[in-house]
Structure formats: C-alpha cells, structure tokens
Structure 1
Amino acid sequence: MATEDTTSVTEPASTATPKRRWRGLLTNRDFMIVWGGFTVSSVGTALSNLAVPILALGLSGSPTMAGLVGAARLAPYLLLNLLAGVFIDRWDRRRVMIVADLGRFAALATIPVAYAFDSLTIAHLAAVAFLEGVGHVFSAVSHLSALSKLVPEEQLASANALNEVADSAAGVGGSALSGAFIGLARNSTLGAVYSYAVDAVTYLLSGASLLFVRKSFQEDRPVDEQRSVMADLKEGMSFLWRQRLLRLLMVMVTLINFLQAPLNLATIVLATEDLDINAGLIGLILAVVGLGTVGSAFAASWLRERISLRTLALGSVALWAVAAAMMAAAPSIIFLAAGVLITNLLWPIFAVSLVTYRLSATPDQLQGRVNSAFRTLSFGVEPLGLAIGGALIASQGPRFLFWGAAVGQLVIFLGSVATWRRKLTPETAAATSPQDA
C-alpha cells in the first residue's frame, strides 16, 4: 500500500543528451511497432471525430441527439475506467490492446453495412459509438500503462511527445481525409459512412501490428496472490489521492475536459449554421489548423525540460479561456479557426508534461489503476459535458456555449493559482526548472 507522499519524488538524472534520447527511442523496435499501430488507429479516431457528429446530425437533424451520440462514445470512460485499470494490472496488456482493436473493427464495420441495406438508425450509431468507447478505454489505459516498460525512464518524455506527434499528425490527416470524403460524396451522411469504413480498417491494422512486439508490457506478477477487485481499486485510488499534486492536476483536467467536450460540436454548428461554411470544408480547415499541433507536440518534451509543470499547466488554462472567447465572438471562419488552433496547440504540451510526471511518479504494479482512476474523472465527465453542451447549443446557440467555456476556464485558472503554491507538495521540485526554483 502506498504511503503519504512526505518525500520528494524526483526523476533520475540522465547523462544522455536529447539527441541521444531521441535516437535511442527511434531505434527501439518494439516501441516503434506500438507507436506505428497507435498512429494508424489515431488516424481512424480522427476520421470518426468529424464523422460522428456529421452522421448523427444527418440521421437525426438534431444537435441534442448528436450530443447524446457523442456522449455514448465517451460514457465508458465514466462507467468502465476504474474496473479496466484493475484488470489491466492483472491481465496481459498487449493481449488487451489486440482484443480492443479487433472489437472496434467489428463494431465500426457494421455502420457501412447497415447503411448499404438502408437500416442505419441513430440508436445503432449510438451503440457502435459506445462499443468504440469501451475498446478505447481498455486500449488507451493499457498503452499508457505499458509505456514505462517499453522505454527507459529518461525517454518517457520523448516517448510521450512522439505519441502526441502521432496523435496530432493523425488528427491532421484524419480530418483532411474525412473532410474529403464528406465533401466529395453525394451527401455528407454518405461521406461520414465512408469515414467509418476506413476507421474500422485502421483498428484491424493496429491490432495486427501488436503481434510482432517482443517485449513484455508489464513486470512479472505473483501468480498465487489472490486479491479482491475492491482491494485493488482501493490501493490505486489511495495512491492517487495521497499524491497531492496528482490530485490537483486530476481536478483541473476534469473541469477543463467538462468544458471543452462540446467545443467540437459547437465549432461545427457555428461554422455551418452561423458562418455558412460547407461541412467538407470544415474538415479541411481543421486539418490545416491541426498542422500546428504537430510542431507543438515535437516541442513538448523540449519545453518540459525548461519550463515548470506549474507554468505550463496554468498558462495553458489561461490561454484556453482566451481561445474560447475568440471562438464565441468570431465574426468569420478565420477567428474561429484561430481559436481552435490555440486550443489544439496547447494540448500536446500540457499532456506530455502531465502524463510524463504521472508515469514517473507511479509504480508499475499500480500503473493501470492510477491511470484509469485519473481518467475516470478527467475523461468520465466528457459525456456529461457533451450531453449538456448539445442541449445548450440547441437552445441557446453555439456562441453561448463558447462564452460559458471561456468564463469557466478563467475560474479554473484563478482557483488553480490560489491552490497551487510551491509549498503544496515537494514533487513540484521534480518538474521545476532551475530558473523557477
């Protein structure tokens, strides 16, 4: 059982230069295979990010229903994350990822089949969205928990940054591809169905790639140890709660995710209804905007070595509030795209710093439970945020939602500044640059 964090959690010093760390990472065969599969599946996820609201709007004509479908896709974060963490710490993490990918392939493949037979319904779409979310919960927590076994600790920040690069680049390619499908098809609904078909194939490829990984995704575990699910849950949650900096970061991310969950839907509705922009063009614009996030992801590990976690986290929240206000007041697609760009640029930097710290501070045998407990709250609120956001967009309009997000994030920033002091916890020393000490 973890004890109260009364001592500093420091990261081991590395004599390797950044160039050597990157070279060692890129020559790590097993990590690169996992990274390649992650990149391919991320392209598929990006396809669905645009296709889900477009297809839901096409089938129902209602932003409220589109919000509920999006909520169904995110609901497993709230319903299953904690249990997933327990079993991921017990099961073979690679096998979990393979099953999750193949399950998502099977579920998503039913969308184009149902559409071809003119039997696709909003309920079917919501069910598939939920199953995709289930697969993502188990796959994402397994992947995150296995990372510290695939690379040395001094390469964790670079590995996280490379994952963010893949995610950002996949977002660009996936949004562009989905936008092309939607723009070139005879209607946006059919284009979204094409996106689902390609997304299904990406999960099949991702799952197959994991068969070639040689390294174990976890430490050896005692085979005779019998523990209850509740005991395992308590151990993981107790560790997370006693780490005061992790606790504060969890609260921050939870509130931010709640506010930002419906922003993608609000962006689409504002662009198509208020600014009269074609849905296919929106995908292409988002792809161009997403190019900036690739550079941001590359810079994330460099920034983490030079700027304190406190500065990166609080600065991101402040700028997110500014970006939401820009989108709320946007008179044209240029201002709307600029707000999206600012929002997306900050996420890789914020995520690399936060996740690297969390992985470094957590023992391997607790990785699944700590990561899943953190994500249960931080991602589990997204279905609620998306459902409420969809209703607000339908009743008050997208600009009202953007203003609400701006004000909410300003409140988060002010509250975090008041709470996050250097004396909060000794762990901050591990993430503080010399000039900030």
Structure 2
Amino acid sequence: MRALLSARLGADFTKLWTASAVSNIGDGVTMAAGPLLVASVTGNPAWIAGAAFAQQLPWLLFALVSGAYVDRLDRRVLVVVVNLARGVALATLAATVATHTVTVPIICTVVFLLGTGETLADTAMGALLPAVVLPEKLPSANARLYATFNIGQQFVAKPLGAWLFVISAAAPFGFDALTFAVAAVLIAGIRPVPAAPQPGPRTSLRGEIAEGVRWLWRHRLVRTLAVSMGIGNIAFCAAFAVFVIYCRQRLGLSDVGYGFLLTAFAVGGVFGATIAAKLARRFGSTAVLRAGLLIEVVTHVTLAVTTTPWMAAGILVVFSIHATVWGVIVASIRQRVVPSHLLGRVGSVYALLDQGGAALGSLAGGLLASVWGITTPFWIAAAAMTAITVCAWRPLREATA
C-alpha cells in the first residue's frame, strides 16, 4: 500500500500522510483521555467545560496571526518545531499526572498551548501540501488525509485513549507526546520546499494579515465557500450542541445508544473520503457542492421531525459523507487557486470563520433549546442552510472551472 502511494503521490506525500496519521491517533487519544483527566481532578462542570474551551480559544485569538507567520517562515521547519514543542508540553503534563501534582490550571495551560500549536501546524500543513503533490493529485491527497483523520481519531484513537487512561492516567499523554515526536521526524524527512516568492517589499504583520483577508473577500468562489462554511458551522453546532439531550429526550436512547449513534459520523466520513475525488471527477465540483448544501437542509429537517433512532443514524451517515466530500473538494480548490505566498493567510481566515462559527453555534444552541424546545435549533439550522443554498447556488458555478 505504501509503495503504491509513493508511486502515485510521491514519497514526500507518504511521509506527510504518515505523519498526519500518527499525530491524528495521538490527538484522538488525548481527546478521549483529556476529559477523563479533568473529571478525575475536579467535578466542577465549569472547569470541565473551561478546559475544552481553552483548546478552542487559540483559533479565535491567533488564527490570523498564525496564518501570517506560516507565509513568512519555512512551512516544513515550522511544523517540525511546533510538533516538538507540543510533544514537550504533553510530556510535561504526563509527568505531573504521574507524580500526582497535576491541577486544572496546569491542564488548561497545556491544552491552550496545544491549541496554539494547532493554529500554526494545521495551517502550515494545508499550505505545505500543494508543494508536495501535483495540482491534479490534490483531491486524492486530501481524500487520503481525511480518511486517515476519520479512521485514526474516531475508530482507533478514542477507545485506545480510554483504555490507556484506565491502565495509567499518564499513559495517554505520554503516548501523544511520542506521536508528535515521530510526526516531527517524518516531516523533517521531506525535501526542503523553496519559500514562496513574496511580490513586492514585505509589509507589517497587520498589513500581511489584511492582504490575506482582502484576497479571500475579493475572490467570489473562495469567499462563498468560506462564508457558507462559517454560517453552516453556526447552524450545525447550534443544533448539535444539545445532541446528547436530543438523543435522550427525542430518540429515547441510552448513553450507550448515544455513543453508537456518534459512530455514524465516523462511518460516513471514512466512506466519503473514498469517493470524494471520484464524485468530483464524475459530476464536477459544482454539482457535488450544490448537492451537499441540499443534504445539509434535509439533515436538519429530518432530525427535527424524526423520533426514530435508525432514521437519525441513516441521515447522519449521509451528512458525514457530504461533510467529508465537501472538505476534500474545498481544500483542493483553495490549494489550487490561492497564490502560494498567501496560502497560510487565506487558510487562516477560512479557519477563523470555520472555528468561529462553531464556537458561536455552540453558545447559541443551548439557549435556543432551553427557551423554545429541543428541536428548535434544528429548524433554525434548516432555515439558515436554505438561505445559504439560495445565495451560494450561482457562485458555485465557478467551482468546476
């Protein structure tokens, strides 16, 4: 399998892909073990929620700045340094857990540092891929990265993280530190990538950030995709912020049933990664993206009206297929049309809208459900996605070209 990947996408992509796979498993292990660690230290729900927010906060604070530095620095070296730094942070956390000196502030500090590193490494990895893979191979490369994410984080890592935590509370974080070190070595083995030429004299950091924002806003297709994703994430996360309560009250599921229903996302994501490039070639990106918007509307309406767990599971599989296909196609479009010297900044603006939309939606969802009922966020999400579909329909004509 690895020889086939090397032949089709190149040895450097194989290293990048393997590094992504290893670090995704490590991330998933920490995602599973992290809440267990916080809950073992404190029973205060505010602290538990605060630790989760501490890892999301850097995207709101630093996404644009990180994008500017990704375009200023050697992206390959940046990923290596950030991965090593995250490994040190996790090793430190593992040491405090092993010596029984861990506290909630220590946990929050470490996850904040991990989130800060993520804003740099994830943006740099997305900007590095076009320098490693030929343009026509980008959909296939992105599909493999998405498949690795779904399999590694959803199927393999989360049960592994819980199992390691039971064996030793420090073990998951030591394991994740090791994965970052391995990923750093693999990325370091990629051939040096020449820095993207900067047209004209370098401006201030603020000026460089503004240049990335202006470029995205002036490009109709990329702007449409970014705004659609931002508003779509507000709608999605508003609805799914109360999903555990929805499963209990609306679908009558136990906690075990809720866990099984969540696997629908992973199943659909893996399948979506295998067909994304094929769908784009067969039907064109425009048709696939438009169909995805319609799937979003149907998903929210179905979840608003159904009380049947199997129907909910089925529509979630379809939705996660769409979400992965959409992600693969949009990432490939962005990597093709954005100038190389702007990939980091434009990618960071896109990530800010993406993550910012998710944060706003999560804050709004609980309020809407508590005031107007558990299905209200789904109806509002359906209405919002209908409006997005109407507004984005014509601009998406440019996606296939």
- TM category, shorter: 0.7 to 0.9
Partner of 1:229: 205
Confirm or deny that 1:277 pairs with 2:255.
Answer: yes
Out of 201, 215, 231, the residue aligned to residue 255 of structure 1 is: 231
Q: Relative to 1, partners in 2 of residues 1:55 and 1:266: Cα closer, same or farther, differing over 3 Å?
A: farther
The farther-off stretch of 373-382 and 83-92 is 373-382
The amino acid across from 1:355 in the alignment is A
Deviation at 1:72, TM superposition (A): 1.7
Report what 1:211 is aligned to.
188
| In the alignment, structure 1 residue 174 sits paired with structure 2 residue 157 | yes
Report 1:237-386 matches (<5 A): 237-261=213-237, 266-267=242-243, 275-277=253-255, 286=262, 290-324=266-300, 337-338=313-314, 340-386=316-362
Cα distance in 2 for residues equivalent to 1:421 and 1:216 = 37
Distance 1:66 1:147 in 2: 35
Q: 1:31 to 1:177 in 2, by over 3 A?
A: same
Cα deviation, residue 132, structure 1: 1.0
Aligned equivalent of 1:4: none
Indicate the residue corresponding to 2:126 in structure 1: 144
**Do the aligned partners of 2:76 and 2:192 also contact (CA within 8 Å) in 1?**
no
Matches of 1:76 and 1:262, distance apart in 2: 21
Task: Give TM-score, length-normalised by structure 1.
Answer: 0.78
CA pair 263-173 structure 1, distance change in 2 beyond 3 A:
farther
Report the 3-state secondary structure (helix = DSSP H, G, I; strand = E; otherwise coil) of the residue aligned with 1:80: helix
TM-score scaled to structure 2, two decimals? 0.84
1:164 maps to which residue?
146
Write out aligned runs for 1:186-197 (5 A).
194-197=171-174
Q: Paired residue for 1:89?
A: 71
User: Which 10-residue stretch deviates more, 266-275 or 252-261?
Assistant: 266-275
Query: 3-state SS of the aligned residue for 1:208?
Result: helix
Count how many residue pairs are aligned between Structure 1 and Structure 2: 394
- The Cα shift of 1:39 comes to 0.9
Matches within 5 A, 1:396-407: 396=370, 400=374, 403-407=375-379
C-alpha distance in 2, partners of 1:69/1:314?
A: 37
Measured in 2, the distance between the counterparts of 1:123 and 1:276 equals 33
Q: Residue 381 of structure 1 aligns to a residue in which SS?
A: helix
Supply the distance in 2 between the matched residues of 1:289 and 1:417 (Cα, whole angstroms): 22
Distance in 2 (alpha carbons) for counterparts of 1:254 and 1:416: 10
CA distance in 2, matches of 1:282, 1:179: 17
2 CA distance for matches of 1:388 and 1:110? 35
In 1, are the aligned partners of 2:26 and 2:180 still within 8 Å (CA)? yes
Displacement of 1:249 in angstroms is 1.4
Q: 1:413 corresponds to which residue?
A: 385
Cα distance in 1, alignment partners of residues 46 and 230 from structure 2: 22
**What's 1:31 paired with?**
13
Give the drift of 1:266: 4.5
Give per-residue Cα distances to partners, 1:228-271, cap 9 Å, x unaligned: 11221222111111011211211111122234447777455667
Amino acid at match of 1:227: T
What is the letter of the counterpart of residue 158 of structure 2?
Answer: S
CA RMSD in angstroms comes to 3.4
Q: Distance in 2 between matches of 1:111 and 1:248?
A: 41
Report the counterpart of residue 19 of structure 1 in structure 2.
none
Local SS of the residue matching 2:123: helix
Distance 1:259 1:416 in 2: 11
Structure 2 unpaired stretches of 5+: none
Once the two structures are TM-superposed, the CA of residue 24 in structure 1 deviates from its matched residue by 6.8
Q: Is the partner of 2:102 in helix, strand or coil?
A: coil
Alignment of 1:44 with 2:26, yes or no, is: yes
Distance in 2 (CA, whole Å) between partners of 1:262 and 1:50 is 23
- Deviation of 1:290 after TM superposition, in Å, equals 1.9
Letter of the structure 1 residue corresponding to residue 380 of structure 2: G
Report the 3-state secondary structure (helix = DSSP H, G, I; strand = E; otherwise coil) of the residue aligned with 2:73: coil
Contact 1:102/1:204 (8 A) holds in 2:
yes
- Matching residue's letter, 1:302: K
CA distance in 2, matches of 1:115, 1:24: 40
Residue equivalent to 1:14: none
